[in-house]
């Protein structure tokens, strides 16, 4: 099987609002796929559905050949939420070791994940005393433990400086090179160009599912920001 995620006619309602409107997409294995769209367009909702923590109204989501959220996926899927999900009163290392132990990984695996996110020097620092960017990297370390088969990353580079962002993107590609499928959301269009595939989402519907090059070509511009705007306008005209 070549697809890591298959979403079919997904409808999600949150509160009284329909947030995803029959969304269908397929994400290939071993790829870095960017999920881009305006604030409130449904990116987090789609990611939550993929990791199996979102109640869905209808449709289906298969992840690594299993229904999203199925027990065998627990060790195979890493999820980085937007809000840091580490314990403030533990050190970076203690957090990594704790989450490693929960999944049956050893201390060396925890140490490697901490180093991979550039926090080796802050490993013995309490999370409460970290900067915002460091804190989200501490969460990222816990998400990448054991190199899961699928990594779902909700805005992992927010609050990071350009050098770190660059390093994190290189690391995502390294992981993908080793076979990990990465679904990563971002608001930042210059990050879209770093993805192998793009899902552009607006108001809960897909407006593009293609490579960055194909998105640029179909919109007739090299600028992905402009391409996104043109695709939105084209969709408004046909709607
Ligand atoms: N718990 C909730 N109850 C009701 N509505 C919600 C809830 N969570 C999200 N929504 C709504 O669902 C829609 C999609 O939200 P979602 O968080 O998926 O967007 P997003 O694209 O990830 O946004 P952002 O880029 O700002 O994080 C928004 O209109 C939001 O207000």
**ipTM for the whole complex:** 0.96
Average pLDDT, integer, range 29-39:
93
Q: How far is the CA of 211 from the centre of ligand 1 (A)?
A: 26
Grade residue 146 by pLDDT with cuts at 50, 70 and 90.
confident
Model confidence at 60, pLDDT cuts 50, 70, 90, reads very high
Q: Give the pLDDT confidence of 148-169 residue by residue, as tens digits.
A: 999 999 998 888 888 888 888 9
44 alpha carbon – ligand 1 mean position (Å): 7
Q: What is the pTM of this model?
A: 0.92
**Digit-coded pLDDT (tens) for 19-32:** 999 999 999 999 99
Containing 210, the helix (H) or strand (E) segment is: strand 205-210
Identify any residues that bridge with 217 across adjacent strands, giving them in sequence order.
none
Q: Are 42 and 199 in contact (CB under 8 A)?
A: no
The share of the chain scoring above pLDDT 90, in percent, equals 69
Residue 186: predicted pLDDT? 87
| Lowest-pLDDT choice from 92-101, 118-127, 203-212, 228-237 | 228-237
As a whole number, mean pLDDT of residues 208-227 equals 92
Q: Which residues of 45-68 are buried (b: 16+ CB within 10 A; e: fewer)?
A: bbbbbbbbebebeebebbbbeeeb
Ligand 1 pocket (Cβ < 6 Å) reads: 14-15, 17, 19, 37, 39-45, 187
Q: Whose CA is nearest to atom 31 of ligand 1?
A: 40
Asked if residue 237 has pLDDT above 80, the reply is no
- 239 pLDDT band, cuts 50/70/90, is low
Q: Hey, how many other C-beta atoms are within 10 angstroms of the C-beta on 176?
A: 19
- Position with higher pLDDT, 127 vs 190: 127
Residue with CA at minimum distance from ligand 1 atom 17:
44
């Amino acid at each position: 099987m070549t697809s890591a995620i298959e979403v079919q006619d997904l409808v999600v309602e949150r509160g009284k609002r329909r947030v995803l409107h029959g969304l269908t997409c397929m994400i290939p294995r071993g790829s870095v796929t960017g999920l881009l769209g305006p604030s409130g367009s449904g990116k987090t909702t789609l990611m939550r559905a993929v990791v199996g923590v979102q109640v869905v109204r209808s449709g289906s989501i298969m992840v690594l050949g299993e229904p999203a959220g199925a027990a065998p996926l627990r060790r195979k899927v890493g999820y980085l939420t937007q809000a840091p999900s580490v314990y403030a009163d533990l050190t970076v290392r203690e957090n990594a070791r704790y989450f490693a132990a929960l999944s049956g990984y050893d201390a060396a695996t925890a140490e490697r994940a901490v180093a991979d996110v550039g926090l080796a020097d802050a490993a013995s620092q309490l999370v409460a005393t970290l900067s915002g960017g460091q804190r989200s990297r501490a969460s990222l370390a816990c998400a990448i433990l054991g190199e899961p088969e699928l990594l779902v990353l909700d805005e992992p580079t927010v609050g990071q400086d350009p050098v770190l962002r660059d390093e994190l993107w290189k690391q995502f590609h390294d992981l993908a090179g080793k076979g990990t499928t990465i679904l990563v959301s971002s608001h930042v269009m210059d990050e879209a160009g770093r993805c192998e595939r793009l899902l552009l989402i607006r108001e809960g519907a897909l407006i593009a599912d293609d490579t960055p090059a194909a998105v640029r070509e179909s919109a007739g511009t090299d600028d992905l920001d402009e391409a996104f705007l043109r695709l939105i306008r084209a969709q408004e005209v046909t709607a």
